[in-house]
Every structure is written in C-alpha cells, then in structure tokens.
Amino acid sequence: MGVEIERKFIVINDGWKNQEPGSSISQGYLSTSMDRVVRVRVINEDAYLTVKSSIDGLVRNEWEYPIPVDDAKIMLKNLCIQPIIEKVRYRILHAGMMWDLDVFSGENEGLIIAEIELESENQPFDVPAWAGKEVTDKPRYYNNNLARYPYRSWTDEEKQV
C-alpha cells in the first residue's frame, strides 16, 4: 500500500513549456464515493487500476495495479462515469522536486493543473513561477469530480479560484 500526499495548483502562465514530450492519459472512474475512488487509467500504451481512500488532511492510501490495456479501454468505454478525463501530463523538475502538470482536453479543455507529491504533509517545497493559486482544498479540481462536473460546464464565477 502506498500513501499519497499531494498539493495542487492552477497553472497561470506558459513558463513550464519547452519540456520533454508529455504522456497521453485517458482515465475514468468506476467509483467516486466519499470513502473511496476507483480509477482506470491508460497512459500511452500502459494501463492501471487504482484504488484511493478518502482524504485525511493531505494524506490518503493508494493502491495501483497494472492491467491489460484492452481491458482498461473496455472499462473506460462501458463502465466508467462519462465523460472520460483526457489530458497530457508533463513531468517537470523544479528546484530538485518533480511536478506533474496536466493539460486537460475534451470536456475539461482550458484547465491546467500542476501537482506535487510530498513525503510528508509539512515537507517544504518551492512553488514555480508558473504555478498560481493552490487548489488542494477545492474538491471540484480533483479528477474524479471533473468526470462528473467538467470544467467546460463551470460558470465564470466557479472558474475564479
């Protein structure tokens, strides 16, 4: 079992660009209950089934297992909450720490989120100039919620962090 400690930020400019090519991700949710999330994800040519516990502060338990890509594609099409989350993920090293930057497309086009995984809740880190307001405590920015209430359907007021 893994533990995930993650912080999320809105990306506010293009200062992160000129990185290596990103990874294409399609992901969907089999369950998005208050106490668990079950996700199916295809990353390029690999696929995973992930189970996450509810969040306690910044911490949650996480289990991830490789699955056959063909099975994942069938689950995404036939079993997952629609729409499927489509994004390109860029891995960006900043101040000695790895950031994941997701550029969403499809029903969540226009949204760009950066996240960093930490070893502890109090671990210090440097926020890059391209990362703006923190949205870790705003559930609407979590992927499982974007599947149920996509960014394109948000009001202008909701898009104002």
Structure tokens at 49: 């089934």
Answer yes or no: are the C-beta atoms of 108 and 85 closer than 8 Å: yes
Taking CA atoms, 72 is separated from 21, 30, 137, in Å, by 23, 11, 30
Q: Which helix (H) or strand (E) holds 127?
A: none
Task: Let me know if 90 is a catalytic residue.
Answer: no
Selecting among 29, 90, 141, 151, the annotated active-site residue is: 29
Backbone angles phi, psi at 77, to 5 degrees: -75, -40
22's CB contacts (< 8 A; 6+ apart) are 88, 89, 90, 103
Continuous H helices in 1-154: 69-78, 143-148
- The catalytic residues are 29
